[in-house]
Homo-oligomer: A and B are copies of this chain.
Amino acid sequence: MAEQTQAQQARTQAPTTGREWHLVARPDGWPVPEDFALVEVPVRAPGPGQILVRNEYLSVDPYMRGRMNDVKSYAPPFRLGAVMDGGAVGRVVASEAEGFAVGDAVLHGLGWREYATVDAAGAVRVDPALPLQAYLGVLGMPGLTAYAGLLEVGGFQPGEAVFVSGAAGAVGSVVGQIAKLRGASLVVGSAGSDEKVRRLTEEFGFDAAFNYREGPVAEQLAKVAPEGIDVYFDNVGGEHLEAAIGALRLRGRAVLCGAIAQYNDTTPPAGPRNLALAIGKRLRLEGLLVGDHYALRPQFAAEVGGWLAEGKLVFEDTVVEGFDQAVAAFLGMLRGANTGKMLVHVAA
């Protein structure tokens, strides 16, 4: 025993099988549980340059719905009969890679499985002093999406008024807080329940918020932002985008980040009927993918990490317990069951 390496020790402790969630059918409209299968597979020992990770938290994200369709898009479609890729954090349980030791906390992209055998190049060690799940949310892809979207694509400037849809979600809740911290004159948001609306103003510091299910978005937006807005951060599409185009002031910007309202539509949604207003108001609408903005990561980590450390920025997760609940968590997220980041807690 004395001559075993740490890696060998860890390997002997690793289990021989683990579970994965596979996509087994492409949904037509809303996904259903039958589109997925829980599969038990052998755990592959790490080869040279690889690590074995026991996942602790999995990410379920809106963009995954798009990857379930067999269409060319920015991310390749999920393969049928294969695991649902995506963000996950866990601990190294065996390492054959330099720079990774057993017990290290890591972030990787191999998704919905209990154990992942990861190439070292595909894993990032994260600060174990911070909550692990923050790397899937406020300090991870959703946080960077909010930061880059508001500041780079949206060109937000201090003193401007910002409207965020899906504002209680993983991205939206961070957008609103960054806007306030960066000097917005007004930050308003929409969400799909009174409880979320309450949290927007009481916990996330929005100036005002409304429940979009309670009346026309344009009317409710006009009440909370009667003088209009300069930046609209769109997580929703549909009626929200049309209302925002109406409310945007001269040279306003719409950051097109998501369109969750229509991801499960089987017929094309209505487009904004007032888009011609963009001419006279010289509006700019621009699509955002976080992958274009990785150069911002150091600045993002310093600024947002600093706000977190100072307690100026808060985050909230909605954590679903149990690996077997991953599909339920995903479907719940698509229906808006979460406040902040929706996560699956894998290991008790």
Contact = CB atoms under 8 A, between A and B. Distances in A.
A257 interface: yes
A285 interface: yes
A38 interface: no
A240 B206 CA distance: 39
A242 to B, nearest CB: 7
B284 A284 contact: yes
Contacts of A289: 279-280, 282
Contact of A256 (B258, B274, B276): B276
Q: Most chain-B Cβ atoms within 10 A of its Cβ — which of A274, A279, A280?
A: A279
17 contacts: A256-B276, A256-B278, A256-B279, A259-B276, A268-B273, A269-B273, A270-B270, A270-B271, A271-B272, A271-B273, A271-B275, A272-B275, A278-B287, A282-B292, A284-B285, A284-B287, A285-B286
B237 A275 contact: yes
Given A237-B276, A276-B262, A282 B288 contact: yes
A283 interface: yes
Interface string A46-66: 000000000000000000001
Nearest to A238: B276
B281 A284 contact: no
B287 A283 contact: yes
A208 B46 CA distance: 56
A276 B262 CA distance: 9
A268 to B, nearest CB: 4
A73 interface: yes
Nearest to A291: B282
A262 B288 CA distance: 29
A241 interface: yes
Contacts of A242: 271
5 pairs of A and B residues whose beta carbons are closest in the complex: A271-B271, A268-B273, A259-B276, A74-B280, A278-B287
Nearest to A282: B287
Q: Most chain-B Cβ atoms within 10 A of its Cβ — which of A273, A274, A276?
A: A276
Contact of A274 (B271, B275, B284): B271
Given A66-B280, A242-B271, A281-B287, 18 more contacts: A73-B280, A237-B276, A256-B276, A256-B279, A257-B279, A259-B276, A262-B276, A268-B274, A269-B273, A271-B272, A271-B274, A272-B272, A278-B285, A279-B289, A280-B287, A280-B289, A284-B284, A284-B285
Contacts of A273: 268-271
Contacts of A283: 286-287
Contacts of A66: 280
Contacts of A278: 256, 285-287
B284 A286 contact: yes
Contacts of A280: 66, 73-74, 287, 289
Interface string A209-242: 0000000000000000000000000000100011
